[in-house]
Structure 1
Amino acid sequence: MEQRKEKRNRMIKLRISEAELKEIHQHLGRSTNRSLSEYIRRLALNKPVTVKVRNASADDFLEQMLPLQACLEQACDTYTKAVDRLQTLHKLTELKGWLILHESTRAALLEQVSRMESLTLQLYEQWLQK
């Protein structure tokens, strides 16, 4: 059974100021409605309007995490290349040189992981307090 879409062939004109229009568009932007007509129709007919709510702590978390993710990916790539190079070494002197050279890469990778862990724990603790 197909539901037929009701034709909307009647129009209501409404005069509003620029400030009111901006405010309506701000409210529309926070709702899940796709169009201004749909949003105003739901309000006028006293139907529920779903409003999106942002979690500021999660936004802050993501803001801090995204640069760390990029750094972590770079460190992982560098470390993977270093390990690939390690597998081609055959002499003990080459191995010692590799270890000295790539100790800083390993430390940078571990530091990024530690910072991500710290931020994740902070977000977890904030959620526990709610």
Structure 2
Amino acid sequence: MGFIPPAPVPAPVFVNDEARWAAVLRRDRAADGAFVFAVRTTGVYCRPSCASRHPRRENASFHADGAAAERAGFRPCRRCKPTEMSLAERQTALVVAACRKIETAEEMPSLDELAEAAGLSRFHFHRMFKSVAGVTPKAYADA
């Protein structure tokens, strides 16, 4: 029975700075992981989806990843935290852990137990599990 996380949708190819800048202006989550952008005036680099105010175009530069931005002298944004896992990655990790718990348990753990292990309310956990796995925890256990 093992849960296989959904395959990530291939990120659009950002072949030039104009395409990258357009992704930044859209705060495109699909661009996260494809590149980071840095702001010369603040010395900070961010994910393309960062909710911070957009910089002027002439102050923005693009880097393949956070390590490249740090080598260029920029520090990570405190708002979008580009050095940490994204929300989607964290949610997938929680669902995978819950699936392992369901698979290894003698009897099906209650929704409250699964939610507590994930550190979420039962309602939030149920909604998140279904959005990531495509089925409810009970349906997963019954499969």
TM-score (norm 2): 0.29
Query: Which of structures 1 and 2 has the bigger CA Rg?
Result: 1
TM-score (norm 1): 0.31
More strand by share: 2
